[in-house]
Amino acid sequence: MVGTDNPVLAVLCGEKHPPDMEPIEQLATVRYTRAEGLADALRGADVLFVYDFLSTAVPDAWPAADRLRWLHIASAGVDPVMFPALRDSDVVLTNSRGVFDESIAEYVLAVVLAFAKDLPRSIRLQDERTWLHRETERISGRSALVVGTGPIGRAIARLLRAAGLRVSGAGRTARADDPDFGTVHASSQLTRHLPDADFVVAVAPLTEQTKGMFDAETFAAMKQGARLINVGRGELVVTEDLVEALRAGQLAGAALDVFETEPLPQSSPLWTMENVLVSAHMSGDFVGWRNALVAVFVDNFLRWREGRPLRNVVDKRLGYVPSNG
Choose between 188 and 291: whose C-beta lies nearer to a second copy: 291
Binding of a second copy at residue 168 (CB under 8 A)? no
Q: In this structure, what DSSP letter does residue 260 have?
A: S
Q: From the candidates 217, 240, 262, 274, give the one annotated as an active-site residue.
A: 262
- In the annotation, is 72 catalytic? no
Give yes or no for a contact between 140 and 162, defined as CB atoms under 8 angstroms apart: no
Neighbours of 41 (CB within 10 A): 22
Choose between 65 and 201: whose C-beta lies nearer to a second copy: 201
> Which residues, listed in sequence order, are joined to residue 49 by a DSSP beta bridge?
11, 72
Choose between 263 and 309: whose C-beta lies nearer to a second copy: 263
Q: From the candidates 31, 142, 233, 305, give the one annotated as an active-site residue.
A: 233
Beta carbons within 8 Å of 126's beta carbon, 6+ residues apart: none
Of 28-36, 121-129, 196-204, 222-230, which part binds a second copy (CB under 8 A)?
A: 121-129
Burial (CB count <10 Å: 0-12, 13-18, 19+), residue 187: buried
State the Cα angle at 45 between 48 and 47, rounded to 5°.
30
Between 136 and 155, how does the x/- string for binding to a second copy read (CB under 8 A)?
xxxxx---------------
- In the annotation, is 36 catalytic? no
DSSP labels for 48-114? EEE-STT---HHHHGGG-SS--EEEESSS--GGG--HHHHTSS-EEE--TTSSHHHHHHHHHHHHHH
- In the annotation, is 233 catalytic? yes
Between 263 and 302, how does the x/- string for binding to a second copy read (CB under 8 A)?
xx-x----xx---xxxxxxxx-xxxxx-------------
Closest separation in Å from C-beta 177 to a second copy: 22
**Residues near a second copy (CB under 8 A), total:** 53
The identity of residue 186, as a single letter, is A
Q: From the candidates 87, 166, 281, 311, give the one annotated as an active-site residue.
A: 281
Closest separation in Å from C-beta 232 to a second copy: 17
Measure the CA–CA gap between 321 and 311, rounded to whole angstroms. 10
Q: 293 phi and psi, to 5 degrees?
A: -65, -45
Closest separation in Å from C-beta 161 to a second copy: 9
Tell how far CA 104 is from the center of its chain: 9
Binding of a second copy at residue 243 (CB under 8 A)? no
Closest separation in Å from C-beta 254 to a second copy: 12
| Omega cis (within 30) before 179 | no
Closest separation in Å from C-beta 15 to a second copy: 11
Question: Active-site residues: which are they?
Answer: 233, 262, 281
Positions touching a second copy (CB under 8 A) are 102-103, 106-107, 109-111, 113-114, 116-117, 119-120, 122-127, 129, 131-140, 159, 162-164, 262-264, 266, 271-272, 276-283, 285-289
